[in-house]
Structure 1
Amino acid sequence: MVRATWRTRLGFVLAAVGSAVGLGNIWRFPWLTATNGGAAFLLLYVLVIVLVGVPGLLGEMVIGRRSRRNPVGAFGALGGRRWRVLGGVAVLASVVLLSFYSVVGGWILRYALASATGAYFGNPQGYFAAIDYGVGAAGFHVLFLLATIAVVYAGVDRGIEVATTVMVPGIVVLFGALAVWAATLPGSAGGYEFYLSLDVGYLRANFVDVLVAAAGQALFTLSVGAGAMLTYASYVDEDRSLAADGTIIAGLNTGIGVLAGLVIFPLLFSLGVSPGEGGPGALFVSLAGAFADLPYSRVVGVVFFGVVLLAALSSAISIFEVLVSYLVDEHDLTRSQATAGVGGLFLVTGSVTALSPSLFALLANTVANLVLTAGLLGFLLFDGWVLGKAALDEYEKGAGPVARMVGLPWYYAVAVALPLFLAFTLVSGLGGVVGVSVTAPQAAGVAVVGVVGAILLLRTTADAAT
């Protein structure tokens, strides 16, 4: 079977940006920013994107292009059969992500439709409480999933590439227009101050908690650690620079996330709404409720949730493609058969999540951060200590002079520095989950011991990389 490829470089970049730009930037980013000190979170988030996210993204893309396979097949082909387990973890992470992601996608679809009638304007809290979980939520999850299935069924070039080439520019243009409009609202200055003015005291007192939240958000929004970028990179030709494309993808994704904040926080402050209200439902309670007090409120609601819907759909497509690619590569199914099978799986898992608030909270608030961090940690250790020089060789294919200059520092960062950081955030995050207070020095100590132990084990047991 001939493996699909992207028709154009722009198509790949926009598809990858579409994977990254989604609910992470628009639903999750403002909520986490609001609950983690505003500008304090933004600062650490941007630093993690630059110092961890971009190198980590390239590390995942290197594995995908070198293998030209799905996550399970990639690790098996490059490292031996026992490494297929790591690919299996990535596939499982994709199941976890889309099982709650499609539920939120259903919420957004419902709000886009309800904005036309103003159904939630009178009682936004009550409206969200009435539709967030239950049979109705499961029904809208199905509608959102059917739209995802339709795009993936059409294929890499005719479906995913065409759809995201339209969606991503549309997201940028519409959010840019909304940001300009939000700046004209009275009281919007308070939103800019909260979002952009750093409270050093808050950051110093809450550094570890904010760092863990920022790291989890950075990995979530870049779609790294679950195999989506690995899968997309497996369709990339060898004459393209992964370093250039990865930097563009991360830059555009971060820019759109920051742009979303420039819409949401000025709007909330202009209407006297606390940015920390609502938790995971903040987008649908605080912001949607605020629309009722705006001129042309129904038009604003339709446009806003329409943009969010495009972003959610573009990300859902990439997660869905991970499993489709796995079935096509490893089990010789046709794309139509694989799409139908994966669609059936998510119809069940998403519906169960839509009916269970506790399961949704567990997947969205805890499991997602942990599996993405652990997944990327495994990917980078594989790059540095199983692929070794082959990872650097793959990185340098198609790279320009500047990218080649930073190739060796990138390799050492992937092999040592980034695994240490990811292990630190993973230990800190696990401590919070199990209710154990873990200080920064303790987390750092455990991270060093764990990573050094893993490296020593890999050096003595890993198969030779191809």
Structure 2
Amino acid sequence: MENKGKKEGFSSSLGVFFATLSGAIGLGNIWKFPYVTGANGGAAFILIYFIFVLLLGIPLMLSEFYIGRSTKRNPFGSIGAIEESNYHNFKFNFLNKIRKSGIFKLIGWLGVTTAAFIMFYYSAVAGWVYEYLFKAIKGDFSPLKNLTGEEAVKFTSDTFNNSVNGTYTPMIWQLVVLIVVSIVLVAGVKNGIEKVTKVLMPLFLLLILLCDIRSLTLSKAGEGLSFLFTPDFSKVTAGTLLTALGLAFFKLALAMGILIVYSNYYKKDTNLMGNSVKVAISDTVISLMAGVAIFPVVFEFGISPSSGPSLLFKSIPLAFAQLPFGNGLLAIFFLLTAIAATTAMISLVEAPVRMFMEEFNMSRIKSVGITSTIIFIIGAITVHPKSIFGAVLIGNKNFFDLFGFLTDNVMMPFAALLTAIFIGYFIKKDSFKQELTNYGQLNKNVKYLPYLRVCLRYIIPILITVIFLNSIGVFN
């Protein structure tokens, strides 16, 4: 177990990769990216998405890697730990005053706060997934095999509503999620996060592959694959570009403190550029594999493709239950979904855990206990419909929606904008180059520096501004 006086690290490059990938993988890979891809032009959308990943995702990932590995500090204290020699000394003194004002410390503060806000509602959703896994194992979806039409739809809708709107059950499952995550985090970085993600990520891939193989044997597999992959540039509109841009930003665990924390644990010889590219590509491939598992089944039974909770908790049980051995397949599917939710939660919780350990000199076990307790209490009394504040509306939003709105539309874009400006303008080029090349050990990475500088200084501020304006409805 890691104590407050010792900083652990990942023991291998494979551990680095799986842990970082686990921060990017989440429910969005299953219930959002595949549908959005199919609905917006298939392969055409994937191409556009990758362009935005290159322009925005990878440069921001590397910026957070720089902050985390160079300082070995939690997001909250990382900016203040950067040595003075790494900064530009501007001729215009007001720029030096801006940097010294402490505004860029908001990068870490917003990251930790964003992680906390997301956990308040994400832990509840993860609880729904755990409950559905339990139901699938028990065979609670077996009646669907004998139901058709409106009866089947009503069964899945009632099941979901009962799970979400229960008085105590949603909170119990939320607590179960946090207990599982806490057990992993108490074990530390090497013996907890790394060991668990090195097991769960390959298992996750194996389970998706099993579901893919089964889906590809269905008679409507061609329709599902066509929906997902056929390039259709006629569907590419301004809205498609905005959707691809938003996904490139939100899908890679940017601006949540996760990447700063995990890069704390990177060794000096970790190839930051190589790791960022591998994570970005793997995250996309996994999303598409999830689509291959889902949409042939959905089309097989004439269910309209959808996204979000409706896809995961209604359409998928409805479709999978009709297959031979459907209960077993449904259990496998919700197991892989539970893995995605769990690894995402591990990454999110670690950000404030590390902050408590370093800023308040706490042991890991105490930090994990305090963090998980705060998440559970605030989440339990706000995000569930029948909780104390579940019916409270602020600006026509309940707390579940409000937490999501603040993180997605305000906090994350602002933190990302500050990060791009900070690394692009205020950090010396040579300082960034040293981390990118592992102090001269990976000189092949020098060739990427001009591209990264252009993106951070000019392209990303524009793209983040577009994301923000789109989020507040300017382009609607």
Same fold, judged at TM 0.5 (above): yes
Pairwise CA RMSD: 2.1
Question: Counterpart in 1 of 2:74?
Answer: 70
Give CA-to-partner distance per residue, 1:256-293, whole Å, 9 cap, x none: 111111111122111211012x6433211111211110
Question: Counterpart in 2 of 1:3?
Answer: 7
1:387 to 427, 440, 460: 427
Is residue 329 of structure 2 the alignment partner of residue 300 of structure 1? yes
Residue identity opposite 2:447 in structure 1 = M
**Partners of 1:426 and 1:40 in 2: how far apart?**
24
**Partners of 2:156 and 2:22 in 1: how far apart?**
29
Maintained 8 Å contact 2:68/2:262:
yes
Is residue 163 of structure 2 the alignment partner of residue 131 of structure 1? yes
1:49 to 43, 53, 62: 53
Structure 1 segment 77-88 matched on structure 2, within 5 A = 77-78=81-82, 80=100, 81-88=102-109
Residue identity opposite 2:131 in structure 1 = R
More displaced, 67-76 or 217-226? 217-226
**Partners of 1:190 and 1:361 in 2: how far apart?**
34
More displaced, 380-389 or 38-47? 38-47
TM-score by length of 1: 0.87
TM-score by length of 2: 0.85
Question: Counterpart in 1 of 2:362?
Answer: 333
Question: Counterpart in 2 of 1:425?
Answer: 467
1:133 Cα shift?
Answer: 3.6
Maintained 8 Å contact 2:106/2:415:
no
Maintained 8 Å contact 1:220/1:369:
no
2:206 to 157, 165, 173: 173
**Partners of 2:75 and 2:272 in 1: how far apart?**
18
**Partners of 2:434 and 2:453 in 1: how far apart?**
10
1:47 Cα shift?
Answer: 2.8
Question: Counterpart in 2 of 1:360?
Answer: 400
Residue identity opposite 2:420 in structure 1 = L
**Partners of 1:386 and 1:330 in 2: how far apart?**
25
**Partners of 1:125 and 1:34 in 2: how far apart?**
24
**Partners of 2:26 and 2:74 in 1: how far apart?**
22
Question: Counterpart in 1 of 2:475?
Answer: 438
More displaced, 115-124 or 165-174? 115-124
SS of residue paired to 2:73: coil
**Cα gap change, 1:376/1:133 in structure 2, threshold over 3 Å: closer, same or farther?**
farther
SS of residue paired to 2:138: coil
Residue identity opposite 2:63 in structure 1 = G
1:41 Cα shift?
Answer: 4.3
1:370 Cα shift?
Answer: 4.2
Maintained 8 Å contact 1:31/1:280:
no
Is residue 148 of structure 2 the alignment partner of residue 107 of structure 1? no
**Partners of 1:364 and 1:182 in 2: how far apart?**
33
1:71 Cα shift?
Answer: 1.0
1:219 Cα shift?
Answer: 2.7
**Cα gap change, 1:228/1:245 in structure 2, threshold over 3 Å: closer, same or farther?**
same
Residue identity opposite 2:20 in structure 1 = A
Residue identity opposite 2:339 in structure 1 = L
Judging by fraction of residues, say which structure has more helix.
1
**Cα gap change, 1:416/1:6 in structure 2, threshold over 3 Å: closer, same or farther?**
same
Maintained 8 Å contact 2:156/2:313:
yes
Give CA-to-partner distance per residue, 1:31-78, whole Å, 9 cap, x none: 544665655544433332233212221111111111111111012223
Is residue 433 of structure 2 the alignment partner of residue 403 of structure 1? no
List gaps (5 residues or longer) in structure 1: 440-466
Identity, % of aligned positions = 27
**Cα gap change, 1:86/1:56 in structure 2, threshold over 3 Å: closer, same or farther?**
closer
**Partners of 2:164 and 2:47 in 1: how far apart?**
32
**Partners of 1:347 and 1:400 in 2: how far apart?**
44
Give CA-to-partner distance per residue, 1:355-392, whole Å, 9 cap, x none: 33832234346743543333222211111122132223
Maintained 8 Å contact 2:27/2:341:
yes
**Partners of 1:371 and 1:179 in 2: how far apart?**
36
Question: Counterpart in 2 of 1:148?
Answer: 181
Question: Counterpart in 1 of 2:272?
Answer: 242
**Partners of 2:136 and 2:361 in 1: how far apart?**
44
SS of residue paired to 1:57: helix
**Cα gap change, 1:370/1:29 in structure 2, threshold over 3 Å: closer, same or farther?**
farther
**Cα gap change, 1:359/1:44 in structure 2, threshold over 3 Å: closer, same or farther?**
farther
Deviant stretches of 4+, over 6 Å: none
**Partners of 1:361 and 1:37 in 2: how far apart?**
29
Q: Which of these two proteins has the greater Rg computed from alpha carbons? A: 2
Residue identity opposite 2:344 in structure 1 = S
**Partners of 2:50 and 2:343 in 1: how far apart?**
22
1:408 Cα shift?
Answer: 2.5
SS of residue paired to 1:107: helix
**Cα gap change, 1:377/1:23 in structure 2, threshold over 3 Å: closer, same or farther?**
same
Maintained 8 Å contact 2:35/2:228:
no
Is residue 166 of structure 2 the alignment partner of residue 119 of structure 1? no
Residue identity opposite 1:412 in structure 2 = V
